[in-house]
Amino acid sequence: MKVKSIITILTILLSNSIASTAQELLPTSTTHQIVKHSYYTLSYSEKDEQAEWVYYLLTAEMLKGKQQRTDDYRPDSLVSTISAQLEDYRGSGYDRGHLCPAGDMKQNLIAMTESFYLSNMSPQDKDFNAGIWNDLEIQVRQWAQTTGRLYVVTAGVLKQNKGKIGSNGVTVPQNFYKVIYDPKGQVKMIAFLIPNENTINPLQTYIVTVDYVERLTGIDFFPELPNSIEKRLERSKDLSGWFIPK
């Protein structure tokens, strides 16, 4: 067997091992429709035609990938109740905003193309998507490169919304959240809750406790952690160890 083939096989096995390990920390689902892709998992809300959460493990190794964007937006065939369609966003004035970012999925073609499922999209204000949301995605990647491994949960707060778009009724969230857990070193969590609109405020403005996001969404983000660790981290807004440029 050629060396290149062996390396390819080992890479796939390692990726599968990482994905399997990541499943251990899945959030709770209020919709009971869990969809597992190769590098991220989501809980799909049919009445909102999007995910109530998208969860994935982000590592420094994953960010070394060179895969280019595919921009192949399409429905997600793994959603049993049928996901949102391209027509739902057309002419709405909202971006098809990534929840699991394409920029986090550069490790290979499978990861990249799966990030363009419409189940991984939510209607986002154009300036929000290109502005502070993009800034936060970049910041998370920088943290992952520094720490080596992060667990990320993200989506819109579907109970607080601006109505719906498209014939299938895709909910437009009023706010988006991102919860990040760092299991290494001092072990820490941080959460952001950001309005779905243009803003010039710094990221620090939108830091909240994980407990607060859980109350808004009804989701328990890391239920498999020991209670003592989970409770301590989720009620804290301690920013030590989370460097955020001003």
The catalytic residue positions are: 98
On whether the CB atoms of residues 190 and 177 are closer than 8 A, the answer is: no
Question: Which tokens hold the place of 232?
Answer: 């301590």
CA–CA dist 114, 126 (Å, integer): 22
Using CA of residue 221, residue 179, residue 57, residue 43, what is the dihedral sign? Answer: positive
What is the number of H-type helices and E-type strands within the chain? 7, 11
Coil, strand, or helix at residue 221? coil
The enclosing H or E element of 176 equals strand 175-182
